[in-house]
Amino acid sequence: AQSVTQLGSHVSVSEGALVLLRCNYSSSVPPYLFWYVQYPNQGLQLLLKYTSAATLVKGINGFEAEFKKSETSFHLTKPSAHMSDAAEYFCAVSVDSSASKIIFGSGTRLSIRP
């Protein structure tokens, strides 16, 4: 069975600092992996997704994630945090090849200090 673990329920960084949100996955088959972002009082929206085409995936708003099979990781990074990045971030893995059923991690809340 597939699962994802997000390390750290809350991460706080200074504006302009590196953002690193950690995600490790477990999957018996090659996974499809996602990062979603949820801004306050809104639904989730897709940041980026890994489809096996390239291990480094670039998403919206300057975020990117690198798939590392040897580490079973898919960490999300952004070189320089902006106040508008404050939100909750969810890592997710698909449970089938069509990726229509997705297992979500428990989420990491990102706070940005001025």
Least separation in angstroms between CB 105 and other proteins: 5
**Per-position DSSP letters for 2-26, written without gaps between them:** -EEEEE-SEEEEETTSPEEEEEEEE
Q: How far apart are CA 106 and CA 20, in angstroms?
A: 16
Q: Residue 84: name the closest of 48, 35, 23, 37 by CA.
A: 37
Q: Among 22-30, 45-53, 58-66, 75-83, which window interacts with other proteins (CB under 8 A)?
A: 45-53
Q: Which of residues 22 and 49 has its CB atom nearest to other proteins in the complex? A: 49
Q: Which of residues 7 and 99 has its CB atom nearest to other proteins in the complex? A: 99
Q: Residue 2: name the closest of 47, 33, 46 by CA.
A: 33
Give the x-and-dash track for 47-86 against other proteins (CB under 8 A).
Answer: --x-x-----------------------------------
Residues that bind other proteins (CB under 8 A): 9, 32, 41-46, 49, 51, 90, 94, 98-102, 104-107
